[in-house]
């Protein structure tokens, strides 16, 4: 498939918006009582083809969210956009979660469920048809969506890989 090393992006030169996808309260029972901690799944993106996800854990909600944002900024990926939608149909899997992304006509909107919607909107995708299959675990759905987006290729990348001109990619 494609090489994700050239798709990584530095967060220092981008204006990123963060979205909290999931906040999970975890309870640890000890002989002294119950200890509550929080795990926050966060998605960040610039709305122009750059998106990342992160997980933060802490005893306080705000601290968990802040850690999640910091982790998400370390995992940024650039994706190809074509007129506000994805360039082609793509599937992605992570653990038990499977997602399907299809390009859509202008004006369709983001037809996707909760966790997928957060990732797609953070990436700047305005028109897409998406389906989540398998596990509905928000962390795994977010990761499967990022995998699907990272494996997207635009026409220029396909032409470069094949060693032909862009017109040849479309016209055979």
Identify the band that residue 6 occupies on the pLDDT scale cut at 50, 70 and 90: low
Q: What is the pLDDT of residue 94?
A: 96
Q: What is the pLDDT of residue 1?
A: 46
- Locate the domains of the chain by residue range: 4-165
Checking if the pLDDT of 2 tops 50, the result is no
pLDDT digits (tens, 9 = 90+) for 113-169: 889 999 999 999 999 999 999 999 999 999 999 999 999 998 888 888 889 888 888
In percent, the amount of the chain with pLDDT more than 90 equals 77
**152 in Cβ contact with 81 (< 8 Å):** no
pLDDT digits (tens, 9 = 90+) for 85-123: 999 999 999 999 999 999 999 999 999 988 999 999 999
Give the long-range contacts of residues 124-128, CB within 8 A, separation 24 or more. Answer: 124/45, 124/46, 124/47, 124/48, 124/49, 124/81, 124/84, 125/81, 125/84, 125/85, 125/86, 126/84, 126/85, 127/83, 127/84, 127/85, 127/103, 128/85, 128/86, 128/101, 128/102, 128/103, 128/104
Q: What is the pLDDT of residue 147?
A: 96
> Averaged over 28-35, what is the pLDDT?
94
Instruction: Output the pTM of the full model.
Output: 0.88
Looking at the domain covering 4-165, what would its CATH class be? alpha beta
């Amino acid at each position: 498939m494609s090489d994700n090393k050239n798709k990584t992006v530095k967060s220092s030169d981008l204006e990123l918006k963060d979205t909290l996808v999931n906040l999970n309260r975890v309870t640890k029972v000890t002989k002294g009582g119950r200890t509550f901690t929080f795990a926050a799944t966060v998605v960040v993106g610039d709305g122009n083809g750059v998106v990342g996800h992160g997980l933060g854990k802490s005893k306080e909600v705000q601290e968990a969210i802040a850690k999640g944002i910091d982790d998400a900024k370390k995992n940024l990926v650039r994706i190809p956009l074509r007129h506000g939608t994805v360039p082609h149909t793509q599937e992605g899997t992570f653990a038990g979660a499977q997602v399907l992304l299809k390009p859509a006509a202008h004006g369709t909107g983001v037809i996707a469920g909760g966790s997928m919607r957060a990732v797609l909107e953070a990436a700047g995708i305005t028109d897409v048809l998406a389906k989540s299959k398998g596990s509905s675990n928000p962390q795994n759905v977010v990761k499967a969506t990022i995998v699907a987006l990272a494996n997207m290729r635009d026409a220029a990348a396909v032409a470069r890989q094949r060693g032909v001109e862009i017109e040849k990619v479309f016209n055979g």
